[in-house]
Amino acid sequence: MKLGLVIHSWWKRWRGKFASAKYPPFTDALEVLAYTKQLGAAGLQIGVDSWTDDFAGKVRILRQQLELYLEGSVALPRDPEEVPHFEDTLRRAKEAGATIFRTALGGRRYEQFKTHAAFLEFKAKAEKSLQLAAPVVEKAQVKLGVENHKDFHAVELADMLKKLGSASVGACIDTGNNIALLEEPFSVVETLAPMAVTVHLKDMAVLPGRNGFYLSEVPLGQGMLDIQGMVDTIRAASPTASINLEMITRDPLAIDCLTPGYWSTFLDKTADQLAMALASVRHYANPELPSMADLELEEVLERENQNILASLRYARGSLSF
């Protein structure tokens, strides 16, 4: 099996505004591709919306020299006027070697929306974007994976994709995101695995908090997730889906599920679901969640690099990548 890297694994270093001799900021995909090869990963998923024809050609040449695969991260068209740009984006990235693309429909649902009506309006716009994008994806003969991005429950996303009815548009499974929506992570993978196009593979750690809990990415094998079981489930259901490490090194996210505002878009959630989620948090509580707040810049950059390396070592030693 091959394991690639998601650009968000360089949360600090990617296009950073700082000076560092050991970990200088990455300014473009060419620099990231070279370092991806140096780390021994098989490919890279990176944003491609702003690429020119000339830059796509440079990426193609380097990617072929390095023998890496390429996946594109794209924004969907919001209206018909944006469809030509979306079409050009897919064309350029495909010429560079990308045949798989990842997109996200929104962000953290519990922070972004204050009312259920606002969420429903967002959902309608997301469905419109998918309807605009699907024919373009099909014409380009590529695949598009929609990420569970702390916006939709796994079943909600699966239903949207089934309603769309495109063989070219499936899921980008993030193995940890939906913990923030109080979903059991393995069930999320089971729900989305049959429609997986690509995967953000990550491990997670949690800690109870005053208003709910804290959620953090940690190196593979150091968290609460059944990574092997998830990989096996995805492989069995969608053998051609690509798998990419997304190791985001940052401060823990606050999931304030014990505050009224969190629940404004979750009209169907039950007390049982909350109780089960909090019980899981208590069971897997990690009192040493990673924190970047008190670290100097070079320490954060070093931690970021070491977390990627530790995850790659685990993937090779324990997951047969």
For the cut 90, the answer to whether the pLDDT of residue 1 exceeds it is: no
| pLDDT tens column, 259-286 | 999 999 998 899 999 999 999 999 999 9
Q: Which two tokens stand for residue 183?
A: 């979903």
Domains of the chain: 4-204+219-252+291-318 (3.20.20.150)
- Give the span between the Cα atoms of 237 and 225, in whole angstroms: 19
Report the interhelical angle of 154-164 vs 185-192 (nearest 10°): 10
| Rounded CA separation 162/184 (Å) | 22
Output the CA–CA distances (angstroms, integers) from residue 165 to 39, 73, 134, 138, 238, in the order listed. Answer: 38, 21, 9, 12, 17
pLDDT at 113: 96
26: its two tokens: 């990455």
State percent of the chain over pLDDT 90: 98
pLDDT of residue 319: 95
- Report yes or no on whether pTM surpasses 0.95: yes
Residue 215 has pLDDT above 90, yes or no: yes
